[in-house]
Structure 1
């Protein structure tokens, strides 16, 4: 029988793995921000919002840790039709 992990159990596992990896200054919330930022690289914000359990896309956008470089790539990806 599978049992659901409690939030405390998840935090314990993360802290243990962090110590094993030599990373001690992080929070479980860091994983949430990373999860959301990684998804936003390849998924639309409404889907990410639903996966994160957020009520609005605006809330999801607050978790986005991607830098200005992502915005620059987005602008460069726009194709402007040439005049004829």
Structure 2
């Protein structure tokens, strides 16, 4: 869905879709702060990691582009992607 929206928004004649996509992209980083602050409140974040830095990592790693490349280009299953994402987020964010 996100890929279709990006493709449609690329059309110079559809400023409305471009704005919708821009709104989504502006909100995505904010959405990463909730999980990061929750992990911090649970004292689950690594001690050297601030909630803001954790949110940055969550934002980047959960990008739609990563999902699309791994599932469509690399032909991973959604389960393989979910397992990769869980382990990839766990290593840099949480206490070992």
Larger Rg: 1
- Name the structure with the higher helix share: 2
With structure 1 as the length reference, what TM-score do the two structures score? Answer: 0.30
With structure 2 as the length reference, what TM-score do the two structures score? Answer: 0.28
